[in-house]
Each structure stands twice: as C-alpha cells, then as structure tokens.
Structure 1
Amino acid sequence: MARQRSEAVAEAMSKAHNIRNMCVIAHVDHGKSTLTDALVYKAGIITEQQAGQRRFTDSLEAEQEKGITIK
C-alpha cells in the first residue's frame, strides 16, 4: 500500500514551496520510466509492487499498450 493518500499528495502539491520539478534525460530503453517509478514509489505515491510495473509517466493509452514512452 502506498504511504501517502491521494488527498495528502494533492494538498501538499497545492503549496508552491512543496513542488519539485525534475527532468530525466537518457537514450531510448535506458530506464527513464523505471527510475521515475522508483522515485514516485520512494515518495510514497505508488506501492513497491507498482514501481517498475505502473509506468507512472506513461499516461497515454498508446504508451501503455506499446510499453514505451512516446512523449
């Protein structure tokens, strides 16, 4: 189970001083989505089981179907 409830995350993100932007740059198939899932897991937003499987950054249906990030 994730440590943070969605309401708590939404509340924290409503305060500008809590927001952190990040950028992950790497070649194709070098683990950008996997790294992002691991960071989101460590932040308590997704479960350990979802990390690496959830592909948190792949929100488009085509991305989920193909298993790649299109953006």
Structure 2
Amino acid sequence: MPNFTVDQVRNIMDKTDNIRSMSVIAHVDHGKSTLTDSLICKAGIISAKQAGDARFTDTRAD
C-alpha cells in the first residue's frame, strides 16, 4: 500500500490531470467522516490506526 508524504501529495495535486473531486452527502451522524477517512487511509495519506478516528475531513469543532 502506498504511503505518501505531504510534499508528495502536494506535488501530485499540482498536476490537474491527477485531481479527482467527490462528494459524500448524507444525514448527520451517518458515517460520512468515517467513510472519507477510510478512503484517505486506503490512498495512503493517513495511517490505518487513524482511519475512522482522525475525522480528517470533518470541519465541525464539536
């Protein structure tokens, strides 16, 4: 499984052909952040230990 550094991800994102946008829409407390954390983990951006708990994509403070 690939593991990327922040700099590697930034370099990849500089190439517009590599950018993929997605959205997850669901009611509150239905696992959107957990799902996206799991996808980010599979991409090698966060560790498996953090997936589901990192709330990497959750912007709410509570």
TM-score, scaled to structure 2 = 0.89
**What residue number does 1:69 align with?**
none
Count of residue pairs the alignment pairs up? 61
Partner of 2:48 in structure 1?
Answer: 48
- Which structure 2 residues correspond to residues 1-71 of structure 1 after superposition, within 5 A? 3-59=3-59, 63-64=60-61, 66=62
**Percent identical:** 56
Counterpart-to-counterpart distance in 1, 2:13 and 2:41: 16
**Matching residue's letter, 1:41:** C
Q: C-alpha separation between the residues in 2 aligned to 1:47 and 1:35?
A: 14
Moved over 4 A (4+): none
Displacement after TM superposition at 1:7 (Å): 1.0
- TM-score between the two structures when normalised by the length of structure 1: 0.79
Letter in 2 for 1:6: V
